[in-house]
Chain A
């Protein structure tokens, strides 16, 4: 199964022409908005997964119960099977609306796992945590082990973002993609994310822009993990969105077999 991250620019698209088996939307965008477009997608036979960007699982501020109850209402309204957010912080005591790293330490494993358990208690279901792109961090636990340890301790799923692993490896070295995935229990993976990224000479770093085609090695790994573990894969394309034809071409590249 291959899916596509739904973005507001797609509101005018004929979604029946998009060769996606499912869609994923940003949870926050639909908590206070008319959900008729989501219901139309679901009625067309394609499920909608929820992916949040501001839960602040790794931050210091308490996670607002009112926000979680709004999310729960959304989950129940659209019958979402998958709900996820990032293994990241959203800011200091306040929201800075970006994704900041959590120190790779065992103390943080314990602290963040407790926060995820609290979230799951309020939502009444398991969530998935996405391994995030990070541009600087501290701590001595390898990232893959950090993610795996939190997933075990919180008893949550992992939304494994293959592109983020590649970006982090390019920027910092450490585990490459084939090594990273051996550290994550496949039974805990909800599905996969893939996207493209760009090198930014101003910083001398690769930036997770979601504005380019998926690299061939990343796409190949996504196909392999689909075949090996029956995992779905979702394409994220958020900036410089191309037309339907190129999106469909990217989706076809992720499929393990082409329908005849």
Chain B
């Protein structure tokens, strides 16, 4: 799929890529956000509690926008999140 497809999924743009439906693109963006949120919360539940819902959502959105996951293993995603936090602090 083209780069503009994934740019929308990641939230880097709100321009719906040519040939695609907005509803379908929103589903993919939602599913990726949900997957990241659930994986990270499972291992770091305190972060969501401390941040509150709005800040948590914004943090996951930013993580998805910038992420560079390469592992095939969904369970490694929280490690990628920690690497992301390190990059943010740098």
Contacts and interface: CB of A to CB of B under 8 A. Distances in A.
Interface residues of B, number: 31
B73 A28 contact: yes
B61 to A, nearest CB: 14
Interface in B3-31: 3, 5-6, 9-10, 19-21, 23-28, 30-31
Nearest to B67: A94
Contacts of B71: 95
Interface of A: 28, 31-32, 53-55, 64, 67, 89, 91-92, 94-98, 100-103, 134-138, 171, 200, 202-205, 207
A102 B5 CA distance: 11
Contact of A135 (B10, B23, B72, B74): B23
A97 B73 CA distance: 8
A92 B65 CA distance: 12
A13 B28 CA distance: 33
Chief secondary structure at chain B's binding surface: helix
A205 B27 contact: yes
B28 A64 contact: no
A94 B3 contact: no
Contact of B23 (A64, A101, A136): A136
Which of B23, B28, B69, B72 has the largest number of chain A CB atoms within 10 A?
A: B72
A100 B74 contact: no
A200 B26 CA distance: 12
Nearest to A90: B72
Contacts of B25: 135-136
B73 A32 contact: yes
B1 interface: yes
Given A91-B6, A135-B28, A203-B27, A98 B35 contact: yes
Contact of A203 (B1, B30, B35, B77): B30
A126 B67 CA distance: 33
A44 B21 CA distance: 48
